[in-house]
Amino acid sequence: MRPVPEDWQRALTLVAHPDDLEYGASTAIAKWTAEGRTVVQVLATRGEAGIDGMDPAEAARIRTDEQVEAARAVGVDTVEFLDHPDGMLEYGLPLRRDIARAIRRHRPEVVITGNFRETWPGGEGFNMADHRVFGLAVLDAVRDAANRWVFRDLGLEPWQGVRFALVANSPQAAHYVDVTGHLAAGIASLRAHRAYFDGLGQDFDPDAFLTGICEQAGRDAGVPHAMPFELIEL
């Protein structure tokens, strides 16, 4: 495990749904904002298809509020939604265009996204379509945003300043962020998704989940608590 470079000031998170960041990445975000870095969150959907027993319009409203609360718990003030349909994300130019617009507007040095690989760490399960589609679109949109001849109609100057992408919860993680002292903030951000967890009808313990990840990664990295990431240079 190698440390994630931290000689940067601006990061943009790009994930598919409310709660995607909070299963790990938000704990690192808590550290970065505490150090004075700027982090902006952009989400593809409002998670309206994520609660089986709740009307999508109501779910979108509640999950939007929960994401804003989760962001505030880790020092993030700006949360934006692209309003693509939850559960039906399609890889293609419309999605890449919206992501490229966000990158050109916010001009980050680092982009953070969720796992888009087929499986989760340990080779468990099969990742859902939204995650796989969106993560790939994020990486391609970084290059789109840097090319002034792509998406010229956006009326925004190209941004070539993204140095690398960090992929949270990836089975190919080989880097880490030392999050010692920031685990409590990460847990608070995950706990903000109360309605979503209630809707799942499962016994889920945010404290145990995040503590387990941070302690294991910490042992691998040689620090008390760490968060693992896959780093992709761009």
Which range marks the domain in which residue 102 is found? 2-233
Closest C-alpha to 226, from 171, 182, 166: 182
Q: Do the beta carbons of residue 107 and residue 10 sit within 8 Å?
A: yes
Q: Is 80 exceeded by the pLDDT of residue 120?
A: yes
pLDDT band at 177 (very low <50, low <70, confident <90, very high): very high
Rounded (10°) CA dihedral 190, 164, 226, 126? 60
How far is the C-alpha of 17 from the C-alpha of 37, rounded, in Å?
Answer: 23
Q: What is the CATH number of the domain that holds 43?
A: 3.40.50.10320
pTM above 0.85, yes or no: yes
User: What is the number of structural domains in the chain?
Assistant: 1
Predicted confidence (pLDDT) per residue in 78-110, tens digit = 999 999 999 999 999 999 999 999 999 999 999
pLDDT of residue 144: 98
Predicted confidence (pLDDT) per residue in 67-81, tens digit = 999 999 999 999 999
Backbone angles phi, psi at 176, to 5 degrees: -145, 160
pLDDT band at 204 (very low <50, low <70, confident <90, very high): confident
